[in-house]
C-alpha cells in the first residue's frame, strides 16, 4: 500500500518534536556584556583545535589583527603541534585560560577551527573565565567553546570569522559594527551582481513564514550534535537556533538534525536559521536519495515555527558576526536577523 509522503514526513516530524531533552544549563536572565573593542586594544590569538603548519600563515593572521587597529598577542603554544591538534589538550586549554586571566587582553580570537575544542572543555577554568568576560571570536569547531561559554560563563561571544579568515569588506564591516560600535544591525545577505535575469547568489528559502525572537544560539551542526547529552550545551528553550556545516552528505545532515530532535532541542525553539552548508550536496547524476532541501523540509516544516535557509554565515568567504546569547529577531520571509540588544558594553 502506497503511503502518502507528506503524511509520513509530518508524522515523523511531530514524533521528533515531542522528544524529551536531557538536563541542560539555563541561560542567565541577563547576559554579561564584554567590553567593546577599541583601537589599540591587545587581543589574544589561540588555536584551541587544529594547528597551523606554516608560520607565514600566522604572520598573515597577525597582520590582519594589526589592520583592524588591534595589537595581537599570540598564546604561548600558538605554533605547537600534537598530531592534528595545535598542542596537547593541556597546552591548548592553558592558552585559553591564560588569555582570559590576562588583564591586558581585551578579546580572544581563534586562529582557526578543525577539531579539538570539545576535548579541552573539562580543562577550562570557568571561574576565571566568568570573572573576566571578553569577546571570544571564531566559528566552525569554536562552536564547542561558544556553547560551553553560553552554558557556564554567562557572557556574549561572537560566532564570526576566524582570525585566519579572508576578512573581506562585508565580514569586516559586520564585525566592526557589533564588536567595536556596539551596534544592533539587521543582518541580511549581500545583493549579488550576477548577470542573470533572476540572481541566484544570496537567495534564501523560507520553510515556514513569520518572525520569531529569542536568544541567538548555535553554530556548526556537527559540533552541536556531538555535544548532545554531555552537559556542555545551554538550554535552547525559546531560542533562535542558527546552524551551518561543510562537507556533509544529506543523510548525515538528516542524522544530526534527528539527534537534535530526539534530544528535545528542535521542539523547544522559537525559530531556526540554516546558514550555508558548503559542499553538502548529493553526489552523482543517478543519486536517488533525499536532497539537502528535502531533508531540511522534513525536519523544519513540522516544527510550525519561522525557519529559513541561506543566511550568509558558515564556511564561506564573507559571513555575519552573530553574537551568541543576545536577543534577536529573525524574519523568515525577508531572510534577516535583527539584533535586539548590543553584544558589548
311 neighbors 206 (Cβ within 8 angstroms)? no
Strand-pair category, 135-138 with 186-188: unpaired
Q: Residue-wise pLDDT tens for the chain (345 aa)?
A: 333 433 434 444 444 444 444 456 677 777 899 999 999 999 999 999 999 989 999 999 999 999 999 999 999 999 999 999 999 999 999 999 999 999 999 999 999 999 999 999 999 999 999 999 999 999 999 999 999 999 999 999 999 999 999 999 999 999 999 999 999 999 999 987 778 878 788 899 999 999 999 999 999 999 999 999 999 999 999 999 999 999 999 999 999 999 999 999 999 999 999 999 999 987 666 567 899 999 999 999 999 999 999 999 999 999 999 999 999 999 999 999 999 999 999
What is the model's pLDDT at position 24? Answer: 65
| 315 tagged catalytic | yes
Residues ≥6 apart with Cβ < 8 Å to 178: 158, 160, 185, 321, 323, 339, 343, 344
Extract the C-alpha cell encoding 263.
Answer: 534530544
Q: Which of 47, 315, 321, 329 is catalytic?
A: 315
What is the model's pLDDT at position 8? Answer: 37
Total residues found in the chain within this entry: 345
207 neighbors 300 (Cβ within 8 angstroms)? yes
Angle between helices 250-262 and 5-17 (to 10 degrees): 50
Cα(325)–Cα(150) distance, rounded to whole angstroms?
Answer: 7
| 244 tagged catalytic | yes
What is the model's pLDDT at position 234? Answer: 96
What is the model's pLDDT at position 204? Answer: 96
134 neighbors 110 (Cβ within 8 angstroms)? no
Question: What domains, with CATH codes, occur in the chain?
Answer: 42-179 (3.40.50.10740), 203-283+290-339 (3.50.30.60)
From residue 4, give the alpha-carbon distance in Å to each of 7, 8, 15, 167, 292: 5, 6, 17, 48, 20
What is the model's pLDDT at position 285? Answer: 63
Cα(286)–Cα(301) distance, rounded to whole angstroms?
Answer: 27
What is the model's pLDDT at position 35? Answer: 98
Beta bridge partners of 85: 50, 82
Instruction: Give the DSSP H or E segment for 211.
Output: strand 211-220
Q: Indicate the burial class of 128 (C-beta count within 10 angstroms; 0-12, 13-18, 19 or more).
A: middle
Angle between helices 5-17 and 292-300 (to 10 degrees): 60
Cα(287)–Cα(313) distance, rounded to whole angstroms?
Answer: 28
Instruction: Give the DSSP H or E segment for 166.
Output: none
Cα(323)–Cα(344) distance, rounded to whole angstroms?
Answer: 9
Burial 276-308 (b: 16+ CB within 10 A, else e): bbeebebeeeeeeebebeebbbbbbebbebbbb
Cα(157)–Cα(146) distance, rounded to whole angstroms?
Answer: 6
Q: Which of 244, 248, 321, 329 is catalytic?
A: 244
Q: What pLDDT, in 10s, does the model give residues 273-300?
A: 999 999 998 766 656 789 999 999 999 9
Cα(123)–Cα(131) distance, rounded to whole angstroms?
Answer: 17
Q: Which of 47, 91, 140, 164 is catalytic?
A: 140
Amino acid at each position: 500500500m502506497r503511503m502518502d509522503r507528506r503524511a509520513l514526513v509530518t508524522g515523523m516530524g511531530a514524533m521528533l518534536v515531542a522528544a524529551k531533552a536531557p538536563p541542560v544549563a539555563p541561560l542567565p536572565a541577563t547576559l554579561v556584556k564584554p567590553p567593546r573593542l577599541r583601537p589599540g586594544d591587545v587581543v589574544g590569538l589561540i588555536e584551541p583545535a587544529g594547528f597551523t603548519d606554516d608560520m607565514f600563515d600566522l604572520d598573515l593572521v597577525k597582520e590582519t589583527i594589526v589592520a583592524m587597529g588591534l595589537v595581537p598577542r599570540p598564546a604561548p603554544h600558538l605554533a605547537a603541534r600534537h598530531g592534528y591538534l595545535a598542542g596537547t589538550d593541556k597546552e591548548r586549554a592553558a592558552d585559553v585560560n591564560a588569555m582570559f586571566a590576562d588583564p591586558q587582553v581585551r578579546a580572544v580570537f581563534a586562529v582557526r577551527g578543525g577539531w579539538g575544542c570539545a576535548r579541552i572543555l573539562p580543562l577550562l577554568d570557568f571561574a576565571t573565565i566568568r570573572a573576566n568576560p571578553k569577546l571570544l571570536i571564531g566559528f566552525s569547531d569554536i562552536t564547542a567553546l561558544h556553547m560551553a561559554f553560553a552554558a557556564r560563563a554567562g557572557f556574549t561571544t561572537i560566532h564570526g570569522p576566524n582570525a585566519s579568515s579572508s576578512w573581506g569588506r562585508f565580514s569586516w564591516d559586520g564585525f566592526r559594527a557589533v564588536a567595536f560600535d556596539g551596534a544592533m544591525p539587521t543582518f541580511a545577505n549581500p545583493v549579488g551582481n550576477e548577470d542573470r535575469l533572476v540572481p541566484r547568489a544570496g537567495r534564501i528559502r523560507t520553510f515556514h513564514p513569520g518572525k520569531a525572537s529569542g536568544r541567538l544560539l548555535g553554530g556548526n551542526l556537527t559540533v552541536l550534535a556531538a555535544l548532545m547529552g554531555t552537559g556542555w550545551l545551554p538550554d535552547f528553550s525559546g531560542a533562535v537556533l542558527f546552524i551551518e556545516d561543510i562537507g556533509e552528505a544529506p543523510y548525515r545532515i538528516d542524522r544530526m538534525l534527528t539527534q537534535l530532535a530526539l534530544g528535545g532541542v528542535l521542539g523547544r525553539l522559537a525559530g531556526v536559521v540554516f546558514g550555508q552548508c558548503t559542499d553538502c550536496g548529493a553526489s552523482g547524476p543517478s543519486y536517488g536519495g533525499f536532497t539537502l532541501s528535502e531533508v531540511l523540509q522534513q525536519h523544519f516544516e513540522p516544527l510550525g515555527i519561522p525557519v529559513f535557509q541561506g543566511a550568509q554565515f558558515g564556511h564561506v568567504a564573507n559571513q555575519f558576526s552573530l553574537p551568541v546569547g543576545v536577543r534577536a529577531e529573525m524574519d523568515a520571509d525577508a531572510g534577516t536577523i535583527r539584533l535586539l540588544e548590543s553584544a558589548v558594553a
